[in-house]
A and B are shown apart, each in its own frame.
Chain A
Amino acid sequence: MAMAALRREGRRFLLSPISPNPSTAARSAMLSEDLSPLGTRSISTQVVRNRMKSVKNIQKITKAMKMVAASKLRAVQSRTENSRGLWQPFTALLGDTPSVDVKKNVIVTITSDKGLCGGINSTSVKISKSLYKLISGPEKETRYVLLGEKGKVQMVRDSKSSIEMTITELQKNPLNYTQVSVLADDILKNVEYEALRIVFNKFHSVVSFLPTVSTILSPAVAERESESGGKLGDLDSYEIEGGESKAEVLQNLAEFQFSCVMFNAVLENACSELGARMSAMDSSSRNAGEMLDRLTLTYNRTRQASITTELIEIISGASALTG
Protein backbone atom coordinates (compact mmCIF):
# COMPACT_ATOMS: atom_id res chain seq x y z
CA MET A 1 0.00 0.00 0.00
CA ALA A 2 1.08 3.53 -0.48
CA MET A 3 1.41 4.11 3.19
CA ALA A 4 3.67 1.11 3.66
CA ALA A 5 5.87 2.15 0.76
CA LEU A 6 6.13 5.64 2.14
CA ARG A 7 7.00 4.21 5.51
CA ARG A 8 9.76 2.08 4.01
CA GLU A 9 11.07 5.13 2.17
CA GLY A 10 11.04 7.12 5.32
CA ARG A 11 12.87 4.49 7.27
CA ARG A 12 15.66 4.27 4.70
CA PHE A 13 15.92 8.00 4.79
CA LEU A 14 16.11 8.03 8.55
CA LEU A 15 18.83 5.43 8.68
CA SER A 16 21.29 7.83 7.12
CA PRO A 17 23.05 10.57 8.89
CA ILE A 18 20.64 11.87 11.51
CA SER A 19 22.86 11.46 14.50
CA PRO A 20 20.87 10.78 17.60
CA ASN A 21 21.34 13.10 20.47
CA PRO A 22 20.76 11.62 23.89
CA SER A 23 17.25 12.99 24.38
CA THR A 24 15.89 11.48 21.18
CA ALA A 25 17.65 8.19 21.86
CA ALA A 26 16.05 8.02 25.25
CA ARG A 27 12.66 8.91 23.84
CA SER A 28 12.89 6.32 21.11
CA ALA A 29 13.93 3.71 23.64
CA MET A 30 10.85 4.52 25.62
CA LEU A 31 8.52 4.55 22.65
CA SER A 32 9.77 1.55 20.76
CA GLU A 33 10.49 -1.52 22.73
CA ASP A 34 11.50 -3.59 19.77
CA LEU A 35 14.84 -4.07 18.14
CA SER A 36 15.21 -1.31 15.58
CA PRO A 37 18.66 -0.20 14.63
CA LEU A 38 19.99 2.64 16.65
CA GLY A 39 18.89 6.00 15.34
CA THR A 40 15.49 5.10 14.04
CA ARG A 41 12.44 6.39 15.80
CA SER A 42 9.41 4.23 15.31
CA ILE A 43 6.63 3.87 17.78
CA SER A 44 6.14 0.15 18.09
CA THR A 45 2.83 -1.61 17.86
CA GLN A 46 4.42 -4.95 18.72
CA VAL A 47 3.55 -4.88 22.40
CA VAL A 48 -0.09 -4.13 21.76
CA ARG A 49 -0.25 -6.76 19.05
CA ASN A 50 1.12 -9.41 21.40
CA ARG A 51 -1.42 -8.54 24.02
CA MET A 52 -4.21 -8.71 21.49
CA LYS A 53 -3.13 -12.15 20.37
CA SER A 54 -3.02 -13.53 23.89
CA VAL A 55 -6.37 -11.99 24.84
CA LYS A 56 -7.94 -13.50 21.75
CA ASN A 57 -6.59 -16.92 22.68
CA ILE A 58 -7.97 -16.59 26.19
CA GLN A 59 -11.33 -15.68 24.75
CA LYS A 60 -11.35 -18.78 22.57
CA ILE A 61 -10.41 -21.02 25.48
CA THR A 62 -13.06 -19.65 27.81
CA LYS A 63 -15.71 -19.96 25.11
CA ALA A 64 -14.74 -23.60 24.62
CA MET A 65 -14.88 -24.24 28.36
CA LYS A 66 -18.34 -22.76 28.50
CA MET A 67 -19.54 -25.07 25.71
CA VAL A 68 -18.07 -28.10 27.46
CA ALA A 69 -19.70 -27.17 30.75
CA ALA A 70 -23.03 -26.61 29.01
CA SER A 71 -23.01 -30.03 27.40
CA LYS A 72 -22.01 -31.77 30.62
CA LEU A 73 -24.69 -29.88 32.49
CA ARG A 74 -27.45 -31.19 30.27
CA ALA A 75 -26.51 -34.76 31.09
CA VAL A 76 -26.17 -34.31 34.83
CA GLN A 77 -29.26 -32.18 35.18
CA SER A 78 -31.70 -34.91 34.21
CA ARG A 79 -30.04 -37.34 36.62
CA THR A 80 -30.23 -34.80 39.41
CA GLU A 81 -33.89 -34.20 38.91
CA ASN A 82 -34.54 -37.92 38.96
CA SER A 83 -32.52 -38.36 42.13
CA ARG A 84 -34.68 -35.89 44.01
CA GLY A 85 -37.27 -38.57 44.32
CA LEU A 86 -34.90 -40.60 46.49
CA TRP A 87 -34.89 -38.43 49.55
CA GLN A 88 -38.32 -36.87 49.40
CA PRO A 89 -40.06 -39.85 51.01
CA PHE A 90 -37.51 -39.73 53.81
CA THR A 91 -38.22 -36.13 54.53
CA ALA A 92 -41.91 -36.85 54.44
CA LEU A 93 -41.43 -39.63 56.98
CA LEU A 94 -38.68 -38.41 59.24
CA GLY A 95 -38.66 -34.68 58.68
CA ASP A 96 -35.68 -32.39 58.35
CA THR A 97 -35.02 -30.59 61.60
CA PRO A 98 -32.00 -28.37 61.41
CA SER A 99 -32.76 -26.96 64.81
CA VAL A 100 -32.16 -30.20 66.64
CA ASP A 101 -29.91 -29.88 69.62
CA VAL A 102 -27.26 -32.56 69.87
CA LYS A 103 -23.83 -32.96 71.29
CA LYS A 104 -21.92 -34.44 68.40
CA ASN A 105 -22.36 -32.75 65.08
CA VAL A 106 -20.66 -33.57 61.84
CA ILE A 107 -20.73 -31.07 59.00
CA VAL A 108 -20.25 -32.65 55.59
CA THR A 109 -19.26 -29.96 53.11
CA ILE A 110 -19.48 -30.77 49.43
CA THR A 111 -17.22 -28.77 47.11
CA SER A 112 -15.61 -29.30 43.74
CA ASP A 113 -12.20 -30.58 42.86
CA LYS A 114 -11.63 -28.26 39.93
CA GLY A 115 -11.60 -24.50 39.96
CA LEU A 116 -12.79 -21.77 37.62
CA CYS A 117 -16.35 -22.25 38.79
CA GLY A 118 -17.23 -18.91 40.26
CA GLY A 119 -18.02 -18.48 43.93
CA ILE A 120 -19.91 -21.64 44.83
CA ASN A 121 -17.09 -23.24 46.80
CA SER A 122 -16.52 -20.10 48.84
CA THR A 123 -20.21 -19.86 49.69
CA SER A 124 -20.31 -23.49 50.79
CA VAL A 125 -17.28 -23.02 53.01
CA LYS A 126 -18.67 -19.79 54.42
CA ILE A 127 -21.97 -21.45 55.28
CA SER A 128 -20.17 -24.38 56.88
CA LYS A 129 -18.11 -22.08 59.05
CA SER A 130 -21.11 -20.08 60.20
CA LEU A 131 -23.02 -23.30 60.87
CA TYR A 132 -20.11 -24.44 62.96
CA LYS A 133 -20.26 -21.27 65.01
CA LEU A 134 -24.00 -21.55 65.32
CA ILE A 135 -24.11 -25.07 66.67
CA SER A 136 -21.05 -24.98 68.85
CA GLY A 137 -21.35 -24.57 72.52
CA PRO A 138 -20.08 -25.97 75.77
CA GLU A 139 -19.86 -29.76 75.76
CA LYS A 140 -20.64 -29.85 72.09
CA GLU A 141 -18.31 -31.19 69.50
CA THR A 142 -18.43 -30.41 65.82
CA ARG A 143 -16.26 -31.96 63.15
CA TYR A 144 -15.89 -31.43 59.43
CA VAL A 145 -15.88 -33.97 56.65
CA LEU A 146 -14.78 -32.31 53.43
CA LEU A 147 -15.50 -33.56 49.94
CA GLY A 148 -13.52 -31.93 47.19
CA GLU A 149 -10.16 -30.30 46.88
CA LYS A 150 -11.34 -26.71 46.92
CA GLY A 151 -13.09 -27.02 50.24
CA LYS A 152 -10.08 -28.69 51.80
CA VAL A 153 -7.78 -25.88 50.72
CA GLN A 154 -10.01 -23.23 52.20
CA MET A 155 -10.71 -25.02 55.46
CA VAL A 156 -7.13 -25.95 56.13
CA ARG A 157 -6.30 -22.30 56.53
CA ASP A 158 -8.13 -21.78 59.79
CA SER A 159 -10.08 -24.84 60.88
CA LYS A 160 -7.43 -27.51 60.62
CA SER A 161 -8.07 -29.02 63.99
CA SER A 162 -11.75 -29.68 63.39
CA ILE A 163 -11.34 -31.64 60.18
CA GLU A 164 -12.15 -35.28 60.54
CA MET A 165 -11.78 -36.58 56.97
CA THR A 166 -11.17 -35.27 53.50
CA ILE A 167 -12.20 -36.96 50.31
CA THR A 168 -10.97 -36.03 46.84
CA GLU A 169 -11.07 -37.33 43.27
CA LEU A 170 -14.71 -38.13 43.54
CA GLN A 171 -15.55 -37.17 39.98
CA LYS A 172 -12.97 -39.28 38.22
CA ASN A 173 -15.68 -41.65 37.00
CA PRO A 174 -19.18 -40.42 36.26
CA LEU A 175 -21.11 -40.12 39.48
CA ASN A 176 -23.16 -43.12 40.45
CA TYR A 177 -25.03 -44.29 43.48
CA THR A 178 -22.64 -47.12 44.34
CA GLN A 179 -19.73 -44.75 44.70
CA VAL A 180 -21.59 -42.32 46.90
CA SER A 181 -22.99 -45.08 49.05
CA VAL A 182 -19.54 -46.58 49.64
CA LEU A 183 -18.41 -43.10 50.62
CA ALA A 184 -21.38 -42.67 52.94
CA ASP A 185 -20.60 -46.02 54.46
CA ASP A 186 -17.01 -44.94 55.14
CA ILE A 187 -18.21 -41.78 56.81
CA LEU A 188 -20.71 -43.63 58.96
CA LYS A 189 -18.16 -46.17 60.07
CA ASN A 190 -15.42 -43.74 60.95
CA VAL A 191 -17.14 -40.77 62.44
CA GLU A 192 -19.14 -40.62 65.61
CA TYR A 193 -22.17 -38.51 65.15
CA GLU A 194 -25.53 -37.66 66.50
CA ALA A 195 -26.55 -35.36 63.70
CA LEU A 196 -25.09 -35.06 60.23
CA ARG A 197 -25.45 -31.81 58.41
CA ILE A 198 -24.75 -31.84 54.71
CA VAL A 199 -23.89 -28.49 53.12
CA PHE A 200 -24.18 -28.27 49.36
CA ASN A 201 -25.38 -25.99 46.55
CA LYS A 202 -28.82 -26.89 45.36
CA PHE A 203 -29.37 -26.43 41.69
CA HIS A 204 -32.40 -24.31 40.83
CA SER A 205 -31.47 -23.11 37.39
CA VAL A 206 -28.42 -22.38 35.31
CA VAL A 207 -27.93 -19.04 36.98
CA SER A 208 -29.20 -19.71 40.49
CA PHE A 209 -27.72 -22.09 43.03
CA LEU A 210 -28.79 -21.90 46.63
CA PRO A 211 -26.63 -23.20 49.44
CA THR A 212 -28.65 -25.72 51.46
CA VAL A 213 -28.20 -27.69 54.63
CA SER A 214 -29.79 -31.12 55.06
CA THR A 215 -29.90 -32.62 58.51
CA ILE A 216 -29.88 -36.32 59.24
CA LEU A 217 -30.25 -37.66 62.73
CA SER A 218 -28.67 -40.75 64.12
CA PRO A 219 -31.13 -43.46 65.11
CA ALA A 220 -30.68 -42.80 68.80
CA VAL A 221 -31.48 -39.14 68.43
CA ALA A 222 -34.37 -39.89 66.13
CA GLU A 223 -35.78 -42.16 68.80
CA ARG A 224 -35.41 -39.41 71.35
CA GLU A 225 -37.06 -36.85 69.13
CA SER A 226 -39.92 -39.13 68.32
CA GLU A 227 -40.77 -39.29 71.97
CA SER A 228 -41.07 -35.57 72.13
CA GLY A 229 -43.63 -35.43 69.39
CA GLY A 230 -43.70 -33.57 66.15
CA LYS A 231 -43.20 -35.21 62.79
CA LEU A 232 -41.14 -38.00 64.26
CA GLY A 233 -43.73 -38.63 66.91
CA ASP A 234 -46.00 -40.06 64.27
CA LEU A 235 -43.54 -42.87 63.70
CA ASP A 236 -45.29 -45.00 66.24
CA SER A 237 -48.46 -44.92 64.25
CA TYR A 238 -46.75 -46.95 61.54
CA GLU A 239 -46.98 -50.68 61.67
CA ILE A 240 -43.70 -52.48 61.30
CA GLU A 241 -43.85 -55.73 59.43
CA GLY A 242 -41.30 -58.45 59.38
CA GLY A 243 -40.45 -58.93 62.98
CA GLU A 244 -37.98 -56.11 63.35
CA SER A 245 -38.02 -53.74 66.18
CA LYS A 246 -38.53 -50.04 65.78
CA ALA A 247 -34.95 -49.34 66.71
CA GLU A 248 -33.66 -51.59 63.97
CA VAL A 249 -35.94 -50.11 61.38
CA LEU A 250 -34.85 -46.65 62.41
CA GLN A 251 -31.24 -47.63 62.11
CA ASN A 252 -31.66 -49.06 58.63
CA LEU A 253 -33.67 -46.05 57.61
CA ALA A 254 -31.15 -43.59 58.97
CA GLU A 255 -28.29 -45.19 57.11
CA PHE A 256 -30.20 -45.42 53.89
CA GLN A 257 -31.43 -41.86 54.28
CA PHE A 258 -27.87 -40.61 54.65
CA SER A 259 -26.81 -42.46 51.53
CA CYS A 260 -29.71 -41.13 49.46
CA VAL A 261 -29.34 -37.57 50.64
CA MET A 262 -25.61 -37.69 49.95
CA PHE A 263 -26.24 -38.98 46.44
CA ASN A 264 -28.64 -36.17 45.71
CA ALA A 265 -26.38 -33.59 47.32
CA VAL A 266 -23.36 -34.67 45.29
CA LEU A 267 -25.35 -34.56 42.06
CA GLU A 268 -26.85 -31.16 42.84
CA ASN A 269 -23.45 -29.78 43.68
CA ALA A 270 -22.04 -31.12 40.44
CA CYS A 271 -24.86 -29.41 38.53
CA SER A 272 -24.28 -26.16 40.34
CA GLU A 273 -20.57 -26.39 39.67
CA LEU A 274 -21.15 -26.80 35.95
CA GLY A 275 -23.68 -23.99 35.86
CA ALA A 276 -21.37 -21.68 37.78
CA ARG A 277 -18.51 -22.56 35.47
CA MET A 278 -20.69 -21.75 32.48
CA SER A 279 -21.54 -18.31 33.74
CA ALA A 280 -17.98 -17.63 34.93
CA MET A 281 -16.53 -18.56 31.55
CA ASP A 282 -19.22 -16.59 29.80
CA SER A 283 -18.45 -13.39 31.69
CA SER A 284 -14.75 -14.07 31.19
CA SER A 285 -15.11 -14.27 27.41
CA ARG A 286 -17.23 -11.15 27.44
CA ASN A 287 -14.55 -9.30 29.40
CA ALA A 288 -11.92 -10.60 27.01
CA GLY A 289 -13.99 -9.24 24.12
CA GLU A 290 -14.22 -5.82 25.73
CA MET A 291 -10.52 -5.82 26.44
CA LEU A 292 -9.87 -6.73 22.83
CA ASP A 293 -11.96 -3.77 21.67
CA ARG A 294 -10.04 -1.38 23.84
CA LEU A 295 -6.73 -2.82 22.72
CA THR A 296 -7.78 -2.50 19.08
CA LEU A 297 -8.48 1.18 19.59
CA THR A 298 -5.12 1.68 21.26
CA TYR A 299 -3.45 -0.25 18.46
CA ASN A 300 -5.03 1.89 15.78
CA ARG A 301 -4.17 5.08 17.60
CA THR A 302 -0.57 3.97 18.02
CA ARG A 303 -0.34 2.94 14.40
CA GLN A 304 -1.72 6.24 13.14
CA ALA A 305 0.53 8.21 15.48
CA SER A 306 3.62 6.39 14.23
CA ILE A 307 2.66 7.00 10.60
CA THR A 308 2.09 10.67 11.30
CA THR A 309 5.42 10.94 13.09
CA GLU A 310 7.25 9.38 10.20
CA LEU A 311 5.53 11.62 7.69
CA ILE A 312 6.48 14.68 9.71
CA GLU A 313 10.06 13.57 9.87
CA ILE A 314 10.23 12.86 6.18
CA ILE A 315 8.71 16.16 5.30
CA SER A 316 10.79 18.15 7.70
CA GLY A 317 13.87 16.32 6.53
CA ALA A 318 13.00 17.02 2.93
CA SER A 319 12.30 20.67 3.60
CA ALA A 320 15.57 20.94 5.55
CA LEU A 321 17.41 19.69 2.50
CA THR A 322 15.73 21.96 0.00
CA GLY A 323 15.37 25.02 2.18
Chain B
Amino acid sequence: MASAAAGSSAAVPFWRAAGMTYITYSNICASLVRSCLKEPHKSEAVNRENVHFVISKWANGKPEKPTIRSDSPEE
Protein backbone atom coordinates (compact mmCIF):
# COMPACT_ATOMS: atom_id res chain seq x y z
CA MET B 1 0.00 0.00 0.00
CA ALA B 2 1.38 3.39 0.86
CA SER B 3 5.04 4.12 0.92
CA ALA B 4 6.64 7.25 2.22
CA ALA B 5 6.54 10.36 0.12
CA ALA B 6 8.85 10.20 -2.84
CA GLY B 7 12.39 10.97 -1.91
CA SER B 8 12.07 11.05 1.87
CA SER B 9 13.09 7.82 3.50
CA ALA B 10 11.02 8.13 6.65
CA ALA B 11 10.29 4.60 7.76
CA VAL B 12 6.76 3.47 7.13
CA PRO B 13 5.19 2.25 10.35
CA PHE B 14 5.32 -1.53 10.62
CA TRP B 15 1.60 -1.97 10.36
CA ARG B 16 1.38 0.02 7.20
CA ALA B 17 4.12 -2.08 5.68
CA ALA B 18 2.19 -5.20 6.65
CA GLY B 19 -0.81 -4.05 4.67
CA MET B 20 -3.05 -2.83 7.46
CA THR B 21 -4.96 0.38 7.38
CA TYR B 22 -5.04 2.78 10.26
CA ILE B 23 -8.53 1.56 11.07
CA THR B 24 -7.39 -2.04 11.55
CA TYR B 25 -4.47 -0.84 13.63
CA SER B 26 -6.65 1.21 15.95
CA ASN B 27 -9.16 -1.63 16.25
CA ILE B 28 -6.45 -4.01 17.37
CA CYS B 29 -5.21 -1.50 19.90
CA ALA B 30 -8.77 -1.00 21.15
CA SER B 31 -9.37 -4.71 21.62
CA LEU B 32 -6.07 -4.94 23.50
CA VAL B 33 -7.25 -2.20 25.84
CA ARG B 34 -10.61 -3.91 26.26
CA SER B 35 -8.98 -7.16 27.24
CA CYS B 36 -7.16 -5.33 30.04
CA LEU B 37 -10.40 -4.57 31.79
CA LYS B 38 -11.65 -6.42 34.82
CA GLU B 39 -14.97 -8.12 35.11
CA PRO B 40 -17.83 -6.95 34.98
CA HIS B 41 -16.73 -4.18 32.68
CA LYS B 42 -14.95 -6.65 30.51
CA SER B 43 -18.05 -8.52 29.42
CA GLU B 44 -19.83 -5.26 28.68
CA ALA B 45 -16.93 -4.17 26.56
CA VAL B 46 -16.81 -7.47 24.74
CA ASN B 47 -20.45 -7.00 23.79
CA ARG B 48 -19.48 -3.80 22.10
CA GLU B 49 -17.11 -5.63 19.83
CA ASN B 50 -19.53 -7.86 17.99
CA VAL B 51 -19.26 -7.64 14.24
CA HIS B 52 -21.80 -9.08 11.86
CA PHE B 53 -22.69 -8.13 8.36
CA VAL B 54 -23.06 -9.74 4.97
CA ILE B 55 -21.09 -8.19 2.18
CA SER B 56 -21.36 -9.05 -1.47
CA LYS B 57 -19.36 -7.58 -4.31
CA TRP B 58 -20.95 -6.91 -7.64
CA ALA B 59 -19.37 -7.41 -11.02
CA ASN B 60 -21.02 -6.37 -14.26
CA GLY B 61 -24.35 -5.81 -12.65
CA LYS B 62 -24.48 -9.20 -10.97
CA PRO B 63 -23.92 -9.93 -7.34
CA GLU B 64 -21.34 -12.50 -6.48
CA LYS B 65 -21.64 -14.91 -3.62
CA PRO B 66 -22.09 -12.94 -0.41
CA THR B 67 -19.53 -13.41 2.32
CA ILE B 68 -20.61 -13.25 5.91
CA ARG B 69 -18.25 -11.34 8.10
CA SER B 70 -19.33 -12.52 11.43
CA ASP B 71 -16.16 -12.21 13.36
CA SER B 72 -17.06 -11.47 16.89
CA PRO B 73 -14.25 -9.86 18.84
CA GLU B 74 -11.88 -9.84 15.97
CA GLU B 75 -8.23 -10.70 15.63
By a beta-carbon cutoff of 8 Å, the part of chain A in contact with chain B is: 160-161, 163-170, 172-174, 176-179, 181-186, 188-190, 219, 243-248, 251-252, 255-256, 258-259
Contacts and interface: CB of A to CB of B under 8 A. Distances in A.
Given A160-B61, A182-B69, A188 B54 contact: no
Contact of A179 (B2, B53, B57, B62): B53
Interface residues of B, number: 36
Given A182-B27, A185-B21, A185-B23, A173 B61 contact: no
21 contacts: A164-B57, A165-B56, A165-B58, A166-B58, A166-B63, A168-B56, A169-B54, A173-B52, A174-B50, A178-B50, A179-B52, A179-B53, A181-B27, A182-B51, A182-B69, A248-B2, A248-B5, A248-B10, A248-B12, A252-B22, A256-B23
Interface of B: 2, 4-5, 8, 10, 12-13, 16, 21-24, 26-27, 30-31, 47-58, 60-63, 66, 69, 71, 74
Sort A-B residue pairs by CB-CB distance and give the 5 closest, nearest first.
A160-B61, A252-B22, A173-B50, A161-B61, A255-B22
A93 to B, nearest CB: 15
Nearest to A176: B48
A83 B10 CA distance: 34
Nearest to B11: A243
B21 A170 contact: no
Given A168-B54, A185-B21, A161 B10 contact: no
A289 B66 CA distance: 43
B52 A178 contact: no
B4 to A, nearest CB: 6
Contacts of B63: 166
B55 A165 contact: yes
Contacts of A163: 58, 61
B55 A167 contact: yes
Contact of A245 (B4, B31, B48): B4
A219 B21 CA distance: 13
Contact of A170 (B12, B16, B27, B53): B53
